[in-house]
Structure 1
Amino acid sequence: MNPRKPRKAPGPSNPYYSGPVSDHFDGLRFFLPEQPPDKTLKDLLRWRLAKGGRKAWPKRNPSPFQDRPPSAVKDLRVVLIGHASFLIQAAGLNILVDPVFAERASPVPFAGPKRVNPPGIAFADLPPVHTVLITHNHYDHLDLAALGHLWQEHRPRILAPLGNDTIIRAVHPDIPVATLDWGEAMELGPGITAHATPSRHWSARNTRDRRMALWCAYVLTTPAGTIYHVGDTGFGDGRIFRDVRARFGPPRLANLPIGAYEPRWFMKPQHMNPEEAVEALRLLEAEQALGHHWGTFRLTDEGVDDPPRALAEALAAAGIPAERFRPLRPGEAWQL
């Protein structure tokens, strides 16, 4: 009788997504071509233990704006709720992007980055929400409690990159979530389509699930023009911006992140700084840009007001009028 062969120890598995191998999914993790190496615990400790580089933030940094949006807009109106959370109103459709209303961008309510200004639109003042777009699963972009409240109050369509449906439905099993891969699209309403495009970022909800759910940017084609929304991205070689320009033409509006960029040796692969955001604007040839991902949650080493100051300097150096790239404060609106 032949002895039994020892069982092979199971390898790691993806708890969120199971699908075919592709040019950006290896069967376990998603990746970009020329994916930079993941930062290690040693890298994180090197950053956190460094002395003298971290600027202080105020405990409160209230915005002078508080918006009460109309119930519908015929053309285009965009409001920053805070950090990377937007309300986009286009051609009668109300779209929330990465709605975060939590006091902390953290898995726990007692620790982690705490907001220094309230949401620029109170939850009760939201117009009817038709669609929610999620760019990725980091806690400053995916607020599961907020999604539950939105579903109870508005019953919106929720759209997210591959694997994020599993994360959402683990907490809210009654919420249907549609998913997109890079290059896929979904119609949101008459004449309005959301296209998922790559960004140079990553995903994780804990220490063991890095890059196991997809992340993305969105291009919205609408009757009011093309809107390009990036939740988080590094600049890389600029290819992602050139590709959007080549495929969709110059955007009418580009929402570009300008914060959470210091120290550069740690943040450069995943977060643009304002100078790189200006170069992204130039490559896109966008008519208008709005800056976000700054001034609400302290995630990195730069000061609370450093991003708009650096943006103004980068625009002046590039010879681009300041009004073409506005760093929004929570509750501040831009309208076509």
Structure 2
Amino acid sequence: MCVGFTRHNHEATGPASHKPPPPLQSQLLCRVLALSIDVVCCVGVSWHSLFVCDASCVKPATIHGRRVLLGSLSRFAGHQLWGRSHRASSQLQLLGTRRFLRFLSRNQLCSQQALAARFEQPQQQQQQQAEVRDAEPMTTVNVEEAFPNQDAAVMDTPPQAQEGGAQASSASAPETDDMAKSYPLERNGRFHNPFDTFDMKEHSRFGRLFKLLFDVMTKDESNIPSAAVLDETLPVRTPDMEVLRSPPTDRMHVTWCGHAAILVQMQGQSILFDPVFSERCSPSSYFGPKRYRPTPLRLEELPRIDMCCVSHDHYDHMDRESIRTLHRLNPHMRWFVPLRCDDVLRDAGVPASSITQLTWWQESTVTLPNDNGDMTFVLTPAQHWGRRNTFDMFKRLWGSWCVIGKDQRFYFTGDTGYCRAFKEIGHHYGPFDVAAIPIGAYAPRWFMKPHHINPEEAVQLHKDLRAVKSFGIHWGTFKLTIENYLEPREELEAQTKAAGLAPDEFTTMEHGETRAYFPLKPTPKEDEQVIVV
């Protein structure tokens, strides 16, 4: 890359007219500082563009940021290897910094315009969109429109063409349902939340990145102790494999496998949610958040898995190695994912014919063997986002799951901030026998509130869903945020008591614990039975 700079002519001659060059250590320090500023600014550009700019702004911003970064690295290497003068290096660094500042000002304006278009949509317009969509029930045509070049094997075939297989149908509410449904917004191939509670304007300020780093470095209260202390405060049980190998038909068994991984067994079927069994929830096995509580079961020890539901594409909910192993052990298994999450499964070796993609409020019904009836899977809304690399933010949909059986209903939240969608879900599909609700990874609150609920909001979500029983997930396994590792459990106990809930209405489970839940109309003593193994 050629960069020009002004040549200075000096009228005076002789060695006395030139100032002696600064010491080598000073030159090196100045160059390292200049390079550090460029690196921080370029990282900020990428973060700022990906989290704030509209889709049309992301790629140019990222490319320009990478060019500035590579230019800085090449200049620094050139100065060290070829020994350019201190004056030339200073001018080159100053020129690069000025170019970046001019670009940043243009990018800030672009971001503000994108924010106004994305997050300040009038409420009346959103309501009109919901009314229009409710008037025309959603069918599998939406999947075909989203994937015009996709193989037909991925699409849900008509019910009459499937004998005992998965059936996709519309999730239109009965005529008596008068509560509007929230649908995802889509612009330029990217999904967006329709909720006014998903406000990213605070994150648009460039200085917020440094505030987040400051909070993480100075206010980290996780205080994860030694393994011996963890064995007392967060014990890991060994599940009873005889119980797990015989899925019940008259009740529901739920086993917490850590974080958001849950094994649900009902109507003779075993259903896995958000399977993450690796040591790290990261694109690499060498860095990223590492679990401080082991999995109670290895994938090879799990019983036969019939279905698996994934809420979104984040690495702590969608692990490629776990997916690859699950498919190898259970090639018959059916996968249910939000729209456009199928590429992660296919990269892990799952055939397209085993994948069912759904959008919000869309249903897929499976006819079970052995006259066990039908089971319906519904992808319902959640206030979150998706991303697996630098360039694919918002490209894959996210959501929560309703599993509707013959006698019982189960709800899996995934990740979410609090929004109006849960009253809609409770209205259209509640009440639920059991709900799995996240209670951790919520601090610092100013940053995490749009993405993750805290225990207080989890209690409100439990009420909105009209859940009979709930238990907390998404805590006590990976260090993702800065609250104390036991705070989610302690705060949940305080919030349930303040809300007047029964002591066993919304609780937490131990790793590897299995609970049995009976249908909604049992005898009083059979309302809930905890299996101690």
TM-score under structure 2 length normalisation: 0.57
1:36 aligns with 2:202: no
- 1:182 equivalent in structure 2: 360
User: Which residue, 205, 214, 220 being the options, matches 1:54?
Assistant: 220
Point out 4+ residue stretches in structure 1 off by more than 3 angstroms.
Answer: 10-13, 38-45, 59-62, 173-176
- 1:307 equivalent in structure 2: 488
- 1:70 equivalent in structure 2: 245
Q: Do the aligned residues in 1 keep the contact of 2:493 with 2:507 (CA within 8 Å)?
A: no
Higher relative contact order, chain-length normalized (CA < 8 Å, sep 6+): 1
- AA aligned to 2:405 is T
1:25 aligns with 2:186: yes
User: Residue 49 and residue 259 in structure 1: after superposition, are their counterparts in 2 closer, same or farther (change >3 A)?
Assistant: same
1:198 aligns with 2:370: no
Q: Do the aligned residues in 1 keep the contact of 2:256 with 2:512 (CA within 8 Å)?
A: yes
Compute the displacement of 1:285 (Å). 2.1
Alignment of 1:220-259 (within 5 A): 220-236=403-419, 239-259=420-440
Compute the displacement of 1:92 (Å). 0.5
Q: Do the aligned residues in 1 keep the contact of 2:434 with 2:470 (CA within 8 Å)?
A: yes
Matched residues in 1 for 2:351 and 2:363: separation?
24
SS in structure 2 at match of 1:313: helix
- 1:5 equivalent in structure 2: none
Compute the displacement of 1:241 (Å). 1.3
Q: Do the aligned residues in 1 keep the contact of 2:191 with 2:396 (CA within 8 Å)?
A: yes
- 1:288 equivalent in structure 2: 469
Higher strand share: 1
Deviation sequence 1:72-120 (CA, Å, 0-9, x none): 2112000111100000001101000000011001111111110011112
Deviation sequence 1:165-193 (CA, Å, 0-9, x none): 01221342646322111111111333211
Compute the displacement of 1:59 (Å). 5.3
- AA aligned to 1:105 is C
User: Residue 167 and residue 45 in structure 1: after superposition, are their counterparts in 2 closer, same or farther (change >3 A)?
Assistant: farther
- AA aligned to 1:234 is G
- 1:169 equivalent in structure 2: 346
- 1:151 equivalent in structure 2: 327
Compute the displacement of 1:42 (Å). 4.7
Compute the displacement of 1:209 (Å). 1.3
- AA aligned to 1:52 is T
Compute the displacement of 1:57 (Å). 1.6
User: Residue 264 and residue 196 in structure 1: after superposition, are their counterparts in 2 closer, same or farther (change >3 A)?
Assistant: same
Q: Do the aligned residues in 2 keep the contact of 1:160 with 1:179 (CA within 8 Å)?
A: yes
* More displaced 10-residue stretch of structure 1: 269-278 or 188-197: 188-197
- 2:287 equivalent in structure 1: 111
User: Residue 314 and residue 332 in structure 1: after superposition, are their counterparts in 2 closer, same or farther (change >3 A)?
Assistant: same
Matched residues in 1 for 2:275 and 2:300: separation?
14
Q: Do the aligned residues in 2 keep the contact of 1:227 with 1:254 (CA within 8 Å)?
A: yes
Deviation sequence 1:136-175 (CA, Å, 0-9, x none): 0000000111111111111211110011101221342646
- 2:38 equivalent in structure 1: none
- AA aligned to 2:253 is R
Uncovered stretches (5+) of structure 2, i.e. residues with no partner: 1-55, 60-143, 148-182, 518-533
1:135 aligns with 2:316: no
- AA aligned to 2:340 is G
Q: Do the aligned residues in 2 keep the contact of 1:18 with 1:27 (CA within 8 Å)?
A: no
- 2:100 equivalent in structure 1: none
Matched residues in 1 for 2:210 and 2:390: separation?
15
- Count of paired positions: 321
User: Residue 146 and residue 59 in structure 1: after superposition, are their counterparts in 2 closer, same or farther (change >3 A)?
Assistant: farther
User: Which residue, 368, 373, 390 being the options, matches 1:207?
Assistant: 390
- AA aligned to 2:218 is G
Compute the displacement of 1:23 (Å). 5.1
1:264 aligns with 2:445: yes
Matched residues in 2 for 1:139 and 1:217: separation?
16
Higher helix share: 2
Q: Do the aligned residues in 1 keep the contact of 2:443 with 2:483 (CA within 8 Å)?
A: yes
Identity across aligned pairs (percent)? 32
1:100 aligns with 2:100: no
Alignment of 1:83-98 (within 5 A): 83-98=259-274
Q: Do the aligned residues in 2 keep the contact of 1:58 with 1:116 (CA within 8 Å)?
A: no
Between Structure 1 and Structure 2, whose CA radius of gyration is higher?
A: 2
User: Which residue, 372, 380, 401 being the options, matches 1:218?
Assistant: 401
- 2:79 equivalent in structure 1: none
